Amino acid sequence: MRFDVFTIFPDVFHPYINTSIIQRAITNQIVQINLHNIRDWTTDKHHTTDDTPFGGGGGMVMKPEPLFAAVEGVAGNPPECPVILMSPQGSLLTFQKAKELSQQPRLAVLCGRYEGVDERVIEHLVTEEISIGDYVLSGGELPALVLIEALTRLLPGALGDPDGAHDDSFASGLLEYPHYTRPAEYRGWKVPEVLLNGNHKEINRWRRKQALKRTLLKRLDMIDAAALDKQDLKLLIELSEEILIPAELMKKIKGR
Ligand code: 9D3
């Protein structure tokens, strides 16, 4: 998969993409990340990428000409791939959205700065706006890195094993079970006995139960009754002795 990233701060990408999973995916030719400095497509003496807003008000707006020139220069006119604007007004990046976008052979990713980009860029160049959450950042660079990493992890071979992200918690629809490592006792806090006895059937059952418990307690919104099976129903009945399980959910899963 090929990413063309358009930014006025290409340098902030280097340390992160040259680390760990993304770096290995680049080396193994699973992803290609091309960084483009929007300033290189300016034509004026001062290499201006922003200007004051028509109609007044504070702040600066990214000018359309360098953005159109950059994206069309790299991705073609019209662009031959989706053009994504990282924007606080975009739709939220989710596992589903990441999976969908990871099917594309190529994406252009625009990073806004200042108050935003000229609306004509959004209307006539951008095909999709994506946000990474409801909090204010200073620009689209960190969100672009988040997008690139989330998509790269989903590409076959990127995690070094062919099954890739199958085990990832958002793929399974539940949060992950708790993890422990040595020592078996730390400050008097013991690792659950079941993990030490080597009975893998029992361990898997315990892990599934803990994953259900956590998801019920921390992310009830993630629970999809349709994705739970008969053994999950048994685990839920056991869990109902420990925590409150919404009657709604019990009804749905008992009904089949
Ligand atoms: C101070 C200006 N803001 C008014 C409330 C609007 C605004 C414009 C530009 C807020 C943030 C930004 C810069 N942020 C992004 O470009 C951005 C972003 C984000 O801030 N949060 C979550 N996802 C994203 S994707 C791009």
The CATH number assigned to the domain holding 121 equals 3.40.1280.10
Q: How many domains does the chain have?
A: 2
Catalytic residue among 40, 167, 168, 229: 168
Burial 77-104 (b: 16+ CB within 10 A, else e): eebebebbbbbbebeebeeebbeebbee
Q: How far is the CA of 134 from the centre of ligand 1 (A)?
A: 9
Last residue of a domain, one of 127, 152, 177: 152
What pLDDT digit, counting tens, does each position of 143-197 carry?
999 999 999 999 999 998 766 666 577 888 999 999 999 999 999 999 999 999 9
Note whether 132 and 143 are within 8 A (CB): yes
Instruction: Kindly state whether residue 137 falls inside one of the protein's structural domains.
Output: yes
Do β-strands 185-186 and 189-190 pair in parallel, antiparallel, or remain unpaired?
Answer: antiparallel
* C-alpha–C-alpha distance, residues 173 and 212, integer Å: 10
Residues 219 and 123 placed together within one structural domain of the fold: no
Instruction: Kindly state whether residue 109 falls inside one of the protein's structural domains.
Output: yes
Instruction: Kindly state whether residue 105 falls inside one of the protein's structural domains.
Output: yes
Residues 147 and 192 placed together within one structural domain of the fold: no
Q: Structural domain of residue 211, as residue ranges?
A: 185-255
Note whether 42 and 48 are within 8 A (CB): yes
The number of the ligand 1 atom at minimal distance from the alpha carbon of 135 is 21
Ligand 1 pocket test, candidate residues 137, 141, 148, most atoms within 8 A of CB? 137
> Which stretches of the chain drop beneath a pLDDT of 70?
162-167
Catalytic residue among 153, 205, 207, 214: 153
Note whether 106 and 71 are within 8 A (CB): no
Residues 121 and 202 placed together within one structural domain of the fold: no
Residues 197 and 119 placed together within one structural domain of the fold: no
Residues 83 and 196 placed together within one structural domain of the fold: no
Q: What is the pLDDT of residue 162?
A: 63
List, in sequence order, the alpha helices (H) in the chain.
14-17, 20-27, 64-75, 95-101, 119-124, 141-154, 169-172, 200-218, 230-239, 247-254
Instruction: Kindly state whether residue 172 falls inside one of the protein's structural domains.
Output: no
Ligand 1 pocket test, candidate residues 67, 113, 136, 145, most atoms within 8 A of CB? 136
Residues 98 and 214 placed together within one structural domain of the fold: no
Structure tokens at 225: 């009754």
* C-alpha–C-alpha distance, residues 145 and 13, integer Å: 7
Q: Quote the radius of gyration of the chain (alpha carbons, Å).
A: 24
Residues 119 and 222 placed together within one structural domain of the fold: no
Residues 197 and 148 placed together within one structural domain of the fold: no
Residues 75 and 18 placed together within one structural domain of the fold: yes
Q: What is the pLDDT of residue 164?
A: 61
Residues 52 and 130 placed together within one structural domain of the fold: yes
| Residue whose token pair is 């749905």 | 252
The CATH number assigned to the domain holding 225 equals 1.10.1270.20
Q: What is the pLDDT of residue 172?
A: 83
Q: What is the pLDDT of residue 255?
A: 80
Q: What is the pLDDT of residue 165?
A: 63
Q: What is the pLDDT of residue 107?
A: 99
Note whether 43 and 65 are within 8 A (CB): yes
